[in-house]
Each structure stands twice: as C-alpha cells, then as structure tokens.
Copies of this chain bind each other. A is one copy, B any other.
Amino acid sequence: MPEQLNQCMPLGKYMGVLTKIYFGALSKKLEHLGVDRHFSILKAIDNTNEKCTQQYLSDLLNFDKVSMVRMLDYLVEKKMITRTVNQDDRREHIIELTTKAKKIMPEIRKGIAEMNATAFKGVSKPDREVFYSCLTTILKNIECLPANEVDIKLKKKK
C-alpha cells in the first residue's frame, strides 16, 4: 500500500491501459480512433449542455490548450466532431458531435461504466464516496497553493 502520494502516479498510466482494453474493439471499428483521451473528450462534449468551446474543454478535462487543439484536430479528421465559429463571440469555436459520434455514444458510455466497475470491484459505496471526496480535496489543495512557497507563475493559467 502506498504511503505517499508521489508513489501513486501509476494510476493514470494504468487507467490508460484500461481505456485501451475497454475500447480496443470499438477503436478498431472506428478506423482506429485514438483511444487514450479521445473517448473522454467525446463524452465531455456530449455531457455539455452549455456552449462547448475549446477553452471550456481544456479547463474541464485539464488538458492544456495546445494539446486540446491537437486532439480536436484529430477528432475533426476522424469526422467525430465539428468546429464552428461562435457568431456571438467570433474568437470562440463551438465544438459539437457529428451524427457519427452520437451513434457510438452509448458504446462509449458502456465502456467507461465497465472500466469503472472493474477498477472499483470490491470497494464499498461509502468507501468510494470517501475516495472521490479525498480526490476532490487533494485536487483543490494542489490547485490552490500557498503563494509564499513558489514561483507564482506556475499557478497562473496558461
């Protein structure tokens, strides 16, 4: 059992492996749609009721905007999303799912649900709630760093 958080980093890596596993078949069916983060992006777009801009997605999923541009380029190329200029604020691009993407959303949701079921097998519901609550606290703590500790610029939004 890890004693310190700096020994827990493989979680992200392993979840990447899980994603590959649960979306392997779906990925092949979709001309090898990238598997690592693209499914999370599609789900996030689908979940969003308000206008979905690239900045919004970057903030929500915590990808930097350069990587977001690259990933959205990829999804456009794969005909999974469309990018249209927002006429109310022409700096923004509205991201929307194509019909092709909408059709596979049920499979994506199912894959993500199965992934989570596998990960949390044997963890009780209350424990799971504590886990997510801790995770939330940690993420908050980490984002709100004491100003005296640091190069402030690390805290600033890019």
Chain B positions within 8 Å of A17 at CB level: 142, 154
In the assembled complex, the CB of A128 is this many whole angstroms from the nearest CB of chain B, namely 7
Nearest residue (CB) in B for A140 is: B122
A116/B61 contact (C-beta < 8 A), A1-B132, A131-B134, A142-B17 known: no
B10 touches A139 (CB 8 A): yes
Q: How many residues of A contact B (CB 8 A)?
A: 58
A126 to chain B, nearest CB (A): 9
Task: Verify if A11 is at the interface (C-beta below 8 Å from B).
Answer: yes
For residue A33, give the distance in angstroms from its CB to the closest CB of chain B: 16
Q: In the bound complex, how far is the Cα of B154 from the Cα of A17, in angstroms?
A: 8
B143 and A14 within 8 A (CB): yes
